[in-house]
Amino acid sequence: MEISFDQLQKTIGIHFNNQELLKQAFYHRSYLNEVKQIKESNERLEFLGDAILSFLTSLHLYHQFPQYPEGTLTNIRSSVVKTQSLGTAAKKLGFGELLFLSKGEEEGGGRNNISLLADSFEAFLGALYIDQGIDAAALFLKTQLFPQIISIVKNKTYVDFKSYLQELVQETHKISPNYDVVKTEGPDHDRTFWIEVKIGQKTLGSGIGKSKQEGEQQAAKNALEKMGRL
């Protein structure tokens, strides 16, 4: 491992009182099949961290954006806590190198799997809450995740571009747009998708994403921009 638990704690400026609890946040369930002395994975911590993440993100957005209604705040929160956002934050912190995985999971690219990284982020947050309380959890999110909010709001990535485009197209053409994958690159755990959105044979826009859903959203956004709707 290129990063140790000591280095991680120095990086984030937090020292766990319970070091075993910290490690538990990185025990993937596959690891338990190979190391019998470990009895519990990080899934219960992930469950707790998910709830804490939702609460603290909601609280932050409520105070940060008093001008936005409930619906907009909900959409922004969804963008902040989605798998891609959490996985990206976890990857920057080196969480992938700290995961305890089975040999099969590791050989399958588990350390770079965005979903596993996102799960570890939530588990870590749950462990941090148990170890040091809500204020430490809030500070961690403020420094390691919430900076993404600036970009999310600026680029309006919280908008459901697909739904918006579908409403417009159905209103004018009485049909729904279609999304085609025109190209993919990369291994299964780190694939990139090129997407085009069309009406019949006419291309309305194109987009790139690390998942089909993200690529479709970007294609819809590009189409809306061309239509002068954004």
Query: Is 50 noted as a catalytic residue in this protein?
Result: yes
Name the token pair of 137: 């959890």
For residue 17, the one-letter residue type is N
Known active-site residue 20:
no
Task: Report d(CA 170, CA 109) in Å as an integer.
Answer: 41
CB atoms within 10 A of CB 131: 18
pLDDT digit string (tens) for 139-184?
999 999 999 999 999 988 888 899 889 999 999 899 999 999 999 9
Q: What are all long-range contacts of 17-25, with beta carbons under 8 Å and residues at least 24 apart?
A: 17/131, 17/132, 18/130, 18/131, 21/127, 21/130, 21/131, 22/124, 22/127, 22/131, 23/100, 24/123, 24/127, 25/120, 25/123, 25/124, 25/126, 25/127
Half-sphere exposure for 176 (CA within 13 Å, toward CB): 4
Out of 50, 119, 131, 216, pick the active-site residue: 50
b/e 203-226 (16+ beta carbons within 10 angstroms → b): bbbbbebbeeebbbbbbbbbbbee
pLDDT at 8 over 50: yes
User: Cα–Cα distances in Å, from 14 out to 19, 29, 51, 132, 142?
Assistant: 12, 26, 21, 9, 14
Catalytic residue, from 46, 105, 119, 122: name it.
Answer: 122
pLDDT score of 1: 45
* Interval 191-207 mean pLDDT: 96
Listed in order, strand segments (DSSP E) in 16-119 are none
The per-residue pLDDT for 229 is 84
Q: Average pLDDT of 117-139?
A: 98
pLDDT at 159: 85
- The per-residue pLDDT for range 214-229, each reduced to its tens digit, is 999 999 999 999 999 8
pTM: 0.77
* pLDDT, tens digit, 9 for 90 and up, residues 40-67: 999 999 999 999 999 999 999 999 999 9
Beta bridge partners of 21: none
Q: Which domains, ranges and CATH numbers included, belong to the chain?
A: 5-154 (1.10.1520.10), 161-226 (3.30.160.20)
Length of the chain (residues): 230
CB atoms within 10 A of CB 121: 30
Helix (H) or strand (E) holding 204: strand 202-209
